[in-house]
Amino acid sequence: MTITINHYLIVSLLLFGIGFFGVLVRRNVLTVLMSIELMLNAVNLNLVAFSRRLSDLTGQVFSVFVITIAAGEAAIGLALTISLFRQKRTLNVEEADTMRG
């Protein structure tokens, strides 16, 4: 069986779906963050797959950028997590609803 771009896209879709699902339903901030990473990596996979298919390196370069930004995002996310924990003594995102209307 040859691996076509569809296979990559399906894996990517599954990863993204799992990630998105995690973001929506998990209560622990850490898990939410990890889910976001999953989504980002799904996007990366997508980018690289299309890059290969279209023989255009832009997609790969772009995915390197996404990885870099993801590192920054993780750092800020963890910093926010720590500061949330200090404020609320919990990592439950549902507790952090002070912006409620």
Residues linked to residue 28 through DSSP beta bridges, in sequence order: 92
Residue with tokens 């590192």: 71
Q: CB 99 → another protein: shortest distance, Å?
A: 4
Binding mask 15-54 for another protein (x = CB under 8 A): -----x--xxx------x----------------------
- Token pair, residue 50, equals 């299309």
Which positions from 62 through 101 interact with another protein, judged by CB under 8 A?
Answer: 93-94, 96-101
**Using CA atoms, how far apart are residues 42 and 24, in angstroms rounded to an integer?**
17
Q: CB 61 → another protein: shortest distance, Å?
A: 26
Q: CB 64 → another protein: shortest distance, Å?
A: 25
What distances in angstroms separate CA 50 from CA 5, 35, 65, 67, one per listed residue? 8, 23, 16, 17
Return the number of the residue (68 or 92) whose C-beta is nearest another protein.
Answer: 92
